Amino acid sequence: MPFDRYNRDIDYLRISLTDACNLRCVYCMPEHMTFRPREELLSDGELQRLISLFGAAGFRKIRFTGGEPTLRPGLVDLVRHATQTPGIETVGLTTNGVLLAGLAAPLRAAGLRSVNLSLDTLDPEKFRRLTRWGKLDAVLAGLDAAAKAGLRLKLNAVVSRGTNDREDVVALARYTLEHPWQVRFIEQMPFGNNSEFQLRSLVNEDELRAVLAAAYGPLEPVNNGRLDGEARLYRIPGAAGSLGFISPVSKPFCADCNRLRLTADGVLRLCLLRDNEVDLRPLLRGGASDDELSATIRRAVTAKPWGHGLEQHLIPATRGMSEIGG
């Protein structure tokens, strides 16, 4: 198994399939955004080769992200390859849901088992403002299709102060009363030129739990407060589902981090909130052998930093969230 120098088992790879997106969420990117040309992105064949190498190296979980991964024409085939790769036990997808209605069934047939769907509000007008031009109905249709296809569902809400930190949080949590879903509330994270806005908009976990407790009564810890991935879980008494809080700023979980990130242009990002990177694309396109690529992956695991440097005011600046894949 791929252990880093801090004895963490690094077995989870998040793969960004594109930096492009069909929304322009205000906390993520400017409305007029220039994306990388197609030739700079890894091809399906290059991605399949790397997925096989990561599986052989001991990585057990893969999640496809973006930008927006459903914009990638070969998504279903990449999912099928990942689910059939020896060593890979879990394959997931994070999506904004806009195109999910037509893809949920084919993805399920390709072996996908779980979807994380981004949904910051159930108010159609507020949704349009947050995403700049998104239509809530399309996302809700994708959510319905995913549920009907039998995919496990987690709903991700990025919470912004003064925007969706009150009634929207309460409305989203209501899904868990009847559905066995996890609704997760994510703290704003600072990146590059948008860091001042993101820090100013941050709503921490304790505030959100207080809002929810006022609406539903005291929340019950799940698993004695142990992390589920990066989320601390709670439950509204009697609810079918759970509430997750992902709080990398106010309650860092670096000691339990088990992941690397592969950007769409072939760079291994060793920590979401640090600019430490290892570029695999020159090796892929320069004739490197599988052994050479595997050795580079092992060195990247070893070089993974302990955690982010936000307390020291170190803000990642080389890439925005949409270029990393979250």
Instruction: Kindly write down the DSSP assignment for every residue of 162-206, as one continuous string.
Output: TTSSSHHHHHHHTHHHHS--EEEEE-----GGGHHHHHHH---HH
- Is the predicted pLDDT of residue 140 greater than 60, yes or no? yes
CA distance 325 to 262: 8
- Is the predicted pLDDT of residue 181 greater than 90, yes or no? yes
Domains of the chain as residue ranges with CATH: 12-324 (3.20.20.70)
Task: Point out the least confidently predicted range of 20-24, 86-90, 143-147, 318-322.
Answer: 318-322
CA distance 326 to 250: 17
Report the DSSP pairing between strands 182-186 and 152-158.
parallel
**The two structure tokens encoding residue 146:** 């995913």
Tens of pLDDT, residues 101-139: 999 999 999 999 999 999 999 999 999 999 998 999 999
Residue 326's pLDDT is 65
Residue 272's pLDDT is 82
CA distance 59 to 271: 16
- Is the predicted pLDDT of residue 193 greater than 70, yes or no? no
CA distance 199 to 310: 11
- Is the predicted pLDDT of residue 311 greater than 80, yes or no? no
Residue 201's pLDDT is 77
Residue 309's pLDDT is 63
Mean residue pLDDT of the chain comes to 91
Residue 324's pLDDT is 80
- What are residue 82's phi and psi, to 5 degrees? -65, -40
Tens of pLDDT, residues 62-100: 999 999 999 999 999 999 999 999 999 999 999 999 999
pLDDT band per the 50, 70, 90 thresholds, residue 150: very high
**The two structure tokens encoding residue 24:** 């322009």
The mean per-residue pLDDT over the stretch 233-262 comes to 92
Identify which of 43, 45, 44, 58 has the alpha carbon closest to the alpha carbon of residue 11.
58
pLDDT band per the 50, 70, 90 thresholds, residue 310: low
